Amino acid sequence: MSALKGKGKEYLTVKDLQKVLDSCKLQLNQIDEVWPNIYIGNVAVAQNKAALLKLDDSTHFDLDVYFQPAADFIHKALKSPDGKVLVHCIMGMSRSSTLVLAYLMIYCHLPLKRALQKLIQKRAIYPNRNFLALLLDLDLQLTRKKRTCQIL
């Protein structure tokens, strides 16, 4: 694993995460249950193509501002009786999977690499490089927060 060294800790890179994603052998479906009661699908499933086409999966889109609100929404929905959530985007590969990964990291306390490994067992996903970098930042923030909380 190519990783940056820092105080005895190995840090993941976007390239490391892309290798994990490349190991996925699943075919892309219109919808998949990727976590209990959490589904990732494409626009055909969501049936709101006109609104979603306005969203561009730009390599510069700051999706990270939606990590916490999306994670909160998913968490709240799953806590309701018979709660299920469909997270969708046009292809169901990048934007939607990034938000589900953020949820798994924030609420299920999974490190990014483990969350990726879990999802690619259920669905062919491929967050773009920008989204992977944003998730790496989130992973680092959550690791620091966890370490800080353990010290206090």
What's the pLDDT score for residue 53? 46
Q: Name the amino acid, one letter, at 135.
A: L
Q: What is the pTM of this model?
A: 0.73
d(CA 147, CA 152): 9
DSSP one-letter code for 64 = G
Q: CA 19, CA 62: separation in Å to the nearest integer?
A: 23
CA 122 to chain centre: 13
The single residue listed with the structure tokens 């620091």 is: 144
How high is the pLDDT of residue 32? 86
47 or 114: which carries more pLDDT confidence? 114
pLDDT above 50 (res 49): no
Domains of the chain: 4-134 (3.90.190.10)
The reply to whether 89 belongs to the active site is: yes
Alpha-helical regions (H) of 39-111: 43-46, 49-52, 67-79, 95-107
Quick check: 114 pLDDT over 70? yes
Q: For residue range 58-108, what is the model confidence (pLDDT) as tens digits?
A: 667 889 999 999 999 999 999 999 999 999 888 888 999 999 999 999 999
The predicted structure's pLDDT at residue 57? 58
**Total Cβ atoms within 10 A of residue 67:** 21
